[in-house]
Amino acid sequence: MTNQNVVVSDAKGVAITVTVAAKQNMFSQSVPKPITEAGRGGGCFTIPMNIKVLNVDTEGGAARVNAWVDSLRASSPPRVKSAATPQSLSETVDNNSWSSRHPSAMSMFEQITNASKGKQIVMFLDYDGTLSPIVEDPDRAFMSNEMRRAVKAAAGYFPTAIVSGRCRDKVYSFVKLGELYYAGSHGMDIKGPSKSSKYKNGNQAVLFQPASEFVPMIDEVYKILLEKTRSISGARVEDNKFCLSVHFRCVDEKSWAALAEQVRLVLNEYPKLRLTQGRKVLEIRPTIKWDKGKALEFLLESLGYANSNEVLPVYIGDDRTDEDAFKVLRDRGQGFGILVSKVPKETNASYTLQEPAEVKDFLRRLVKWKRLSNQQK
């Protein structure tokens, strides 16, 4: 078996050198099947899975750090211009072109509901920036009571999952709805409803943690990064159990390079961890082939909808990490991705909503439509 170096990157992301074995089929592309145990009822069970790792080379010194900083700027969109700020003709044309390719989910609502006829809608929702506003202190990213009621109402008609980069316990403490599926740590920590569900396999509590073996390593890196970033004002390291988030929303842009350098130096010693990024956050994750897209497929299978034409998945999210789920839906030719954004972005989503308030309105409208449809049967 020989090794070869391959340079890969995600959309607008940082190119990284990956050492991979030249053996074919190193990874299984299939989604692990949920295990069911007769007579177990609502008990939790763990689904075993042997997942290989990639060796990520984070070396590269100043050139690599500069590339990271450029990518951080690219992933942090500028503030939306006020109505009083005139746009150039090219900006107006670009925005109109983007809007025509990714129209509002509210204006396309009838097309969405028409596509769901004879099918079960399954809702997948990101948390930060989708159900709650983006805030400077990640511990205060509370969802409103109105949003909670909208999500609860949606879950009454459609199987609903929260898919977040946050620790599963943390996002549950924000949402506080026991009838939902929760996929924390970018889908690496999945648990089914704590309340009984009327949907197919919904009354079986699923517990799936494909990165369990990395927990001691993640904890070790967390403690090191806390110490290494202490001198950088505004930097915050969040432990999400199976991954870490280094928030730089409150860090002066002049210090971004110093922060990226500290992260690089730490990750040099941990080749089984990789770096990705989102909105003003660096994400450190195990190098396993698992993401929000894989979590979406796993949850559909858990609900009994693997390779089914009787389901319409709808995934709503605002972050770069949600693109993995949008791409899965586009590749399947099934369901819709909805990007939450006020500014044009490169995306695999079909439709858009501007902000969490519009997400709430969309969920309410979907519930109202379903309720009326049921009454007419």
Max Cα distance, the chain (Å): 65
Q: What is the pLDDT of residues 170-225, one digit of tens each?
A: 999 999 999 999 999 999 999 999 876 666 554 456 789 999 999 999 999 999 99
| Contact of 245 with 237, CB cutoff 8 Å | yes
Beta bridge partners of 19: 5, 55
- Name residues of the chain where pLDDT drops below 50: 1-30, 34-58, 77-85, 202-203
State the pLDDT at residue 90. 54
State the pLDDT at residue 32. 53
In this structure, the dihedral spanned by the alpha carbons of residues 260, 134, 319 and 113, taken in order and rounded to 10 degrees, is 180
Tell me, yes or no, if the pTM score tops 0.85: no
Residue 161 CA to residue 168 CA, distance in Å, equals 12
State the pLDDT at residue 198. 61
State the pLDDT at residue 61. 58
What average pLDDT is seen over the chain?
A: 81
State the pLDDT at residue 147. 98
Identity of residue 352: T
Residue 43 CA to residue 36 CA, distance in Å, equals 10
